[in-house]
Structure 1
Amino acid sequence: MKLRFSLLFAGVLGGILFNACSTKKDALLNRNWHALNTKYNVLYNGNLAFEEGREQLNTTYQDNYWEILPVERLQVTNEIRLDSEDNNPNFQRAEEKATKAIQKHGMEIGNEERNPQTDEAFILLGKARYFDERYVPALESFNYVLRKHPNSDKYNEATIWREKTNIRLDNEELALKNLKRLFRYERLKDQEYADARASMAQAYINLKSPDTAIQQLKIATSYTKKGWEKGRYLFILGQLYNQLGYKDSANLAFDKVIALNRKSPRVYMINAHIQKIQNTPITAENREAMLEYLTALETNRENRPFLDKIYRELAVFYANADQDSLALLHYNKSIQATANIPQLNALNYEDLAGYYFDENQYATAGAYYDSVLTNLPENTKKFRNVKKKRDNLEDVINYEKVVQYTDSVITLYEMPVSERRMYFENFIAELKEKEEAARRKEEARVTAGFAAFAETKGGKENKGKFYFYNITSLGYGKNDFINKWGERTLEDDWRWSNKNRIRTSEASGETDLLTDAQGGEELSDDQKYSVDFYISKIPDQTQVIDSLRKERNFANYQLGLIYKEKFKENRLAAEKLEKVLANNPEKRLILPSKYNLYKIYDEAK
């Protein structure tokens, strides 16, 4: 009897469950069964995958603090994606779960959806597509909710997400119109109201209306319950005030970001400090206080991840105070501390390039401009400007080499014989001193290396063996050969003097004094330490010196034009043109030099 009753009960229960699984029957049991399975099974796992995807985006996304931040943290690649392509496996899984919930548990009966959880499935589907940068399919998902679930408690959320998608599709005017309608006819929760206002702010930023965007962001900041959103919105407010030129209002917004402290991500607080510093003019009265401010940021252990930006601000501070050595030190520290922030690297390299350009070290400046270019996107105006400056610098480098060479030769030619001899005696003494210091340093290095090797197992095993079997002796002999003869290729006639390489100055590119000016060969020891040899290389023919003077004047004239027209460096241009006129120039250079000087001084009035 009990068995029969159990079988009967199981059969009835199975029939009820089988009947409840149907998506074609609009019964209370069917609706609740599918709603329960949708919410606590498929959608639950889908939402978990979606949140993991967003967390991954937040950890990998890098904001560009040198431009107005987007209201929403989302890396946009501007790539056209197909439905089959995935950007993030977590978003793909969330989309799969949402699709499964719709296909398996959807109950569209009589052109009306009867499963109350299907709207959430479509919203999840739309959000997964949105963060996967497939905005048109995302728009379809949100529109489906608004069309099929007009009485849903998720109606406002779906509307806000639809308008965020419209903004991504550059339909800002439509998004603003729909959001204003939402405010007029619907009652929103505080967080929904904040999200809608923030979306409107982004639309106005895109439409180049920062003043209206400020009003929307103020409202969003007041209503949001999320600390990270409040910090981000306040920081963007400060940026917008800066864009409009309202430095005091910007600093008030940045002060509010700083006051949030741990309620908001620290990255906003540090950048707020930096923006405040940049907004504050350095004067004699506040210079010491500003240095203390920057030093406090530098020494705070919690700011270690942001030292690259702090070092840069210290470098700029010292550069403005004409403390060049400290400025260079902190620029280099900023570069070393920078972790994959190309915008910061580009700024540091550009400042260093400008410094070396002003110091007339043009080859070094050119190398830094090359580094700037590697940190800039190629299709930007900034890249094109720096590239043009770098190309123009090639002419500067070549003409400056001519000026330096001709100046040196003419200066030596014009020296009295006694001064000329004294100059080369001092040069030779300095050369010997440097070579002796280098020799002692190398000997100490080799001795220390062999001493350390002798204590190892390999060194002890080779002790007392034939020369070519003794690693220690062989290594010492090899180093002694290199010190005496330099690096030599294994070939016939290896002792010939023209096998040596010509040494050049990296900073100026000039041929070294230790090479034969005519043959391009490295000098022998007798020549290297002979005053008479150097003196004999100075031209003594008037026509040669006159030719060098003409070369120098023409190079200075060309430099003056380049500085004036291409670099807008009127001070340097004037110096070069004045030198042309002061050194008995050819007639063809006099009139254009005077005309360009007139234009320069006229602009300076």
Structure 2
Amino acid sequence: MKTFYKFILFLSCVALITQSCSRKKDKFLNRKFHSTATKYNVLYNGNIALQRGIDGVNNEFTENFWKLLPIERMAVSEDIFLPGQSKNADFERAEEKAIKAIQVHGMNIGGKEKNPQIDEAYLLLGQARYYDQRFVPAMAAFNNILNKYPTSDKINQVKIWREKTSMRLDNDAGAIEKLKRLLEEEKGAIEGQDLADASAALAQAYLNTNSKDSAIAQLTVAAENTKIKREKARYHFIKGQLYNEFGKKDSANLEFDAIIDMHRQVPRSFYINAHLEKSYNADVSNVDDVEFQEYLTDLEENRENRPFLDKIYYRIAEYHRNKMSDSIAEVYYNKSLRKTTSDQYLKSLSYETLGNMYFDKNVYKTAGAYYDSTMTVMTVNTKPYRVIKKKRENLDDVIYYEGIAQTNDSILRMVSLPKAEQLAIYTKFAEDQKLKEIEARKQKEEALKKESLQSVPNPANNNPRNSIGFGNPPGVSTDILNTGSSKGSSNFYFYNSTTVAYGKTEFLKIWGNRKLQDNWRHSSQSANLTTTTEVDSLTGTTEEDIRFNPETYIALLPTKQSELDSIAKERNFAYYQLGIIYKEKFKELELAKSKLESLLDSNPEDRLVLPSKYNLYRIYVELGLHIKADAIKSAIINEYPDSRYAEILLNPQSELSKDENSPESIYTQIYNKFNDELYAEVIAETEVQIKRFEGDDFVPKFEILKASAKGRLYGFEAYKEGINYIALTYGNTEEGKKAQDLIDNALPILAKKEFISDNDSDKFNVIFQFENNSGEDIDAFIKILDEEVAKIDYFDLTTSKDVYTENTTFVVVHGLKSIGGANGFAELLKSEEKDKRGRTIKPKITRPYFAISSPNYAIIQRHKNLNAYLKLQ
């Protein structure tokens, strides 16, 4: 009977569940079943997946405290995904659960949803899509709730999420309008976390539209109402950053203090950066130095702050640099760099600051190395990267010319000293070198000795008794035991091969090879003893080593006047270049003034005097040294009245630097002649302008133009000679670097003289040759040729007049496709024609010609080897 009742009860339950599973019946049991299944099964699992995905997004996001923090901790990726693809498996699972809840448990009866959990399913769906950065589908999900479930208890959350999504779609203005309306209409009704979320979203919209003062007010509301400590710390920190932008340091410090007061309740990164930001806001001139240093030291020594030591060290370095303690600052910058960190921006700041410090100390090589390191941790092609790169490239010139100036100055100074002073200086130098050599050898031998001693086996480990676990007998010392006959268990000197070998080496070094006999110590008994007068026992080098002889260095000093003049000339040019670089590229006017004044005091060659004086005049004016400026202005006008510099000084308002007498204008005029193939005129005029503008930055450009014209007129060797001259003479200018690039890459290709086979080309020319002094009218011939060429409609033919040499000009027909076609075309021009009446018309063109492929034509123009080509035909 009991079994019967159980069976009846089971059937009833099955029937009840079956009835309640229906989504089409608006019964209490149906509604409760689907609501419970949605909430505690599908949505529960979906929300877990969503939270797991959010945690993943938070973990992947790296806070950049150097910039204004975003309100929401989420980095938007630029990756493009196809429809149906997801960036995150957790968000994909959350979306699947939301869709399942809607499809399986939705109870849309009579146009109304009877399952009160479906609106939350749509909310989960929108949030999953939002965090997966599919904002358009997310917007659709949120709008669906607003349209179908206007009475939902989640309606305010949905409105906030919709506007957050709208901002992600760049509709900040619309988001501001709707969020403001929501806060006004629901005033009093919306509170707690919802109010915090709405205010934070509105603050982000204000930040996106650069209304930062309005954002501060909303962040205040958000910070007061959120219960999530991490969010509270973020809102306070952003407010502090905004107040700093407005210059309100006191208000900013209040925000940072609010974070510091929360201590371990917030992420450590916010706590440390709040301390650092507050320290940056401190007025160092008014604070107690001892107290402030103790404050920074406490941050440094706190074990909890170890992950942030890179930033702490950088802050301490900045403090010492502002206090003009550069040596201490450098130590802390390097300590910051040595700390493993993913903060590339911090690394770039440290490297750049160290580079600037060394640049200010005129240690340009080291500064350049730091700038190189700076660029390795910067984003390529950004504006800061380009600034550093340009500064580094300019530094190459400074390093080069400073090296020349320092070396040549040193040589000239030494040469000017009396022989006795030279000898004294180099004697001290030689002795220093010898002492360094001795010290280096001592250190090396001590290291070898230490290594040998460390290789001696430990007697305790070698004792057979110890190896099996026996100790010493009571009352018997290790020394007594070690006097046994067993070599393996003794530390006796001669039983150890390593120490014996070391002893032999030391004996030979000190005593040399000695016979085993009485009185072996006497020098007369030495078989191969080298006295200390011949060999230094420490250095292993003879005292006659040329490195330790001062006469060696004196002999290297130049003595010929021509050599000294060349060194002085090179030094003067380096001074001039440094003066211009410091003035134009680095705006270091004091350094530029020093170099140019030193140049004028060094009896420079005439070509450098005038441009140096003019640049000094400009520097004096900018530095406010009006007396010196007036003096040097008068000197330029009186001593060089016909120069363009004098013209500029006499009439500065006319901007003569840009008129027809400026190098820019003259260069343009000559370049136009180059395009017109007036190469002889170009060469002559560039030579005049190079002499006229000696020392000007435009001179290398004239040199390039001159080399190009010579190449066109005289051939490859003349061009090569000109390019080599530019690379050597103007190596650190832009033109010099281009010349060197041509030498390395282009000239080896252009040097090839071998003609190619006609079968390897599909472009051919017909050439008519004219001698320039023959009196023939080349232009008249070209006119006739053009008329004949126009009759040929099955080829796209053109003509040109090309200079070959000073005495030879080519008239060229281009556009033929084969060597046979070229020869046939030329013969066609020479053939007779019949007029309409049948009368014979003599050909208009009967000149000799030769056909040539375009590549071979380029070779004969480049190497001027026409005769070599014609011999092959």
Q: How does 1:226-237 map to 2 (within 5 A)?
A: 226-237=228-239
Distance 1:432 1:172, change over 3 A: same
Alpha-carbon distance in 1 for matches of 2:241, 2:314? 19
Alpha-carbon distance in 1 for matches of 2:112, 2:372? 64
Structure 1 residue 378, shift from structure 2 partner: 2.1
User: Is 2:608 the partner of 1:589?
Assistant: yes
Alpha-carbon distance in 2 for matches of 1:198, 1:436? 72
Q: Is the 8 A contact 1:338 1:344 kept in 2?
A: no
Equivalent residue, structure 1, for 2:731 = none
Equivalent residue, structure 2, for 1:154 = 154
Deviations 1:514-554 (A, max 9, x none): xxxxxxxxx99732222222111111122222222222222
Alpha-carbon distance in 1 for matches of 2:448, 2:203? 68
Deviations 1:317-348 (A, max 9, x none): 11122222211111111112242111111111
Equivalent residue, structure 1, for 2:376 = 374
Please state whether the residue corresponding to 1:197 is helix, strand or coil: helix
User: Is 2:282 the partner of 1:280?
Assistant: yes
Alpha-carbon distance in 1 for matches of 2:110, 2:576? 87
Equivalent residue, structure 2, for 1:431 = 433
Distance 1:102 1:443, change over 3 A: farther
- The correspondence for 1:530, drawn from 549, 553, 575, is 549
- The correspondence for 1:205, drawn from 200, 204, 207, is 207
Q: Is the 8 A contact 1:343 1:376 kept in 2?
A: yes
Structure 1 residue 472, shift from structure 2 partner: 10
Moved more, 347-356 or 593-602: 593-602
Distance 1:588 1:109, change over 3 A: farther
Equivalent residue, structure 1, for 2:301 = 299
Alpha-carbon distance in 2 for matches of 1:135, 1:82? 14
Distance 1:8 1:476, change over 3 A: farther
Q: Is the 8 A contact 1:50 1:90 kept in 2?
A: yes
Equivalent residue, structure 2, for 1:28 = 28
Amino acid at match of 2:572: N
Please state whether the residue corresponding to 2:152 is helix, strand or coil: coil
Alpha-carbon distance in 1 for matches of 2:623, 2:26? 86
Query: How many percent identity over aligned positions?
Result: 48
Deviations 1:140-187 (A, max 9, x none): 222222222211111111111121122222211111122122123333
Structure 1 residue 247, shift from structure 2 partner: 2.4
Q: How does 1:236-251 map to 2 (within 5 A)?
A: 236-251=238-253
Q: How does 1:82-101 map to 2 (within 5 A)?
A: 82-101=82-101
Q: TM-score, normalised by structure 1?
A: 0.84
User: Is 2:123 the partner of 1:104?
Assistant: no
Structure 1 residue 251, shift from structure 2 partner: 2.3
Alpha-carbon distance in 2 for matches of 1:594, 1:25? 101
Structure 1 residue 33, shift from structure 2 partner: 1.3
Distance 1:85 1:532, change over 3 A: farther
Alpha-carbon distance in 2 for matches of 1:171, 1:525? 85
Alpha-carbon distance in 2 for matches of 1:476, 1:241? 75
User: Which runs of 5 or more residues in structure 1 are unaligned?
Assistant: 462-469, 478-522
Deviations 1:298-326 (A, max 9, x none): 22333222221111111111112222221
Please state whether the residue corresponding to 1:528 is helix, strand or coil: helix
Alpha-carbon distance in 2 for matches of 1:74, 1:239? 19
Please state whether the residue corresponding to 1:70 is helix, strand or coil: coil
Q: Is the 8 A contact 1:83 1:134 kept in 2?
A: no
Amino acid at match of 2:343: I
Equivalent residue, structure 2, for 1:113 = 113
Moved more, 106-115 or 538-547: 106-115
Q: Is the 8 A contact 1:376 1:383 kept in 2?
A: yes
Alpha-carbon distance in 1 for matches of 2:364, 2:327? 18
Alpha-carbon distance in 1 for matches of 2:108, 2:258? 50
Distance 1:533 1:132, change over 3 A: same
Distance 1:43 1:552, change over 3 A: same
User: Which runs of 5 or more residues in structure 2 are unaligned?
Assistant: 463-486, 489-496, 505-541, 625-873
Distance 1:93 1:442, change over 3 A: farther
Structure 1 residue 10, shift from structure 2 partner: 2.0
User: Is 2:530 the partner of 1:546?
Assistant: no
Deviations 1:469-516 (A, max 9, x none): x99999999xxxxxxxxxxxxxxxxxxxxxxxxxxxxxxxxxxxxxxx
Distance 1:572 1:145, change over 3 A: farther
Alpha-carbon distance in 2 for matches of 1:560, 1:475? 60
Structure 1 residue 260, shift from structure 2 partner: 3.0
User: Is 2:577 the partner of 1:558?
Assistant: yes
Alpha-carbon distance in 1 for matches of 2:110, 2:194? 32
Alpha-carbon distance in 1 for matches of 2:428, 2:84? 76
Q: Is the 8 A contact 1:81 1:134 kept in 2?
A: no
Please state whether the residue corresponding to 2:545 is helix, strand or coil: helix
Q: How does 1:338-349 map to 2 (within 5 A)?
A: 338-349=340-351
Moved more, 393-402 or 48-57: 48-57
Equivalent residue, structure 1, for 2:14 = 14
Equivalent residue, structure 1, for 2:223 = 221
Structure 1 residue 90, shift from structure 2 partner: 3.0
Moved more, 255-264 or 232-241: 255-264
Alpha-carbon distance in 1 for matches of 2:42, 2:58? 25
How many residues align structurally?
553
Structure 1 residue 46, shift from structure 2 partner: 2.0
Q: How does 1:250-399 map to 2 (within 5 A)?
A: 250-283=252-285, 286-399=288-401
Equivalent residue, structure 1, for 2:56 = 56
Structure 1 residue 285, shift from structure 2 partner: 5.7
Structure 1 residue 363, shift from structure 2 partner: 2.2
Please state whether the residue corresponding to 1:81 is helix, strand or coil: coil
Q: Is the 8 A contact 2:456 2:498 kept in 1?
A: no
Equivalent residue, structure 2, for 1:38 = 38
Alpha-carbon distance in 2 for matches of 1:134, 1:555? 62
Distance 1:443 1:121, change over 3 A: farther
Structure 1 residue 103, shift from structure 2 partner: 2.9
User: Is 2:66 the partner of 1:66?
Assistant: yes
Alpha-carbon distance in 1 for matches of 2:422, 2:270? 63
Equivalent residue, structure 1, for 2:182 = 182
Please state whether the residue corresponding to 1:202 is helix, strand or coil: helix
Q: How does 1:389-428 map to 2 (within 5 A)?
A: 389-428=391-430
Higher share of residues assigned helix: 1
Equivalent residue, structure 2, for 1:507 = none
Q: How does 1:451-600 map to 2 (within 5 A)?
A: 451-455=453-457, 526-600=545-619
Structure 1 residue 2, shift from structure 2 partner: 3.8
Moved more, 586-595 or 302-311: 586-595
Alpha-carbon distance in 2 for matches of 1:79, 1:269? 33
Alpha-carbon distance in 2 for matches of 1:253, 1:602? 48
Moved more, 205-214 or 448-457: 448-457
Alpha-carbon distance in 1 for matches of 2:499, 2:133? 65
Alpha-carbon distance in 1 for matches of 2:117, 2:407? 83
Equivalent residue, structure 1, for 2:75 = 75
Distance 1:347 1:525, change over 3 A: farther
Q: Is the 8 A contact 1:242 1:250 kept in 2?
A: yes
Alpha-carbon distance in 2 for matches of 1:88, 1:472? 67
Q: Is the 8 A contact 1:338 1:345 kept in 2?
A: no
Amino acid at match of 2:17: L
Equivalent residue, structure 2, for 1:502 = none
Amino acid at match of 1:424: Y
| Rg comparison, structure with higher value | 2
Q: Is the 8 A contact 1:82 1:134 kept in 2?
A: no
Alpha-carbon distance in 1 for matches of 2:424, 2:255? 66
User: Is 2:449 the partner of 1:447?
Assistant: yes
Please state whether the residue corresponding to 2:559 is helix, strand or coil: coil
Bigger relative contact order, structure 1 or 2, given CA contacts below 8 A and separation 6+?
1
Alpha-carbon distance in 2 for matches of 1:163, 1:318? 48
Q: Is the 8 A contact 2:160 2:197 kept in 1?
A: yes
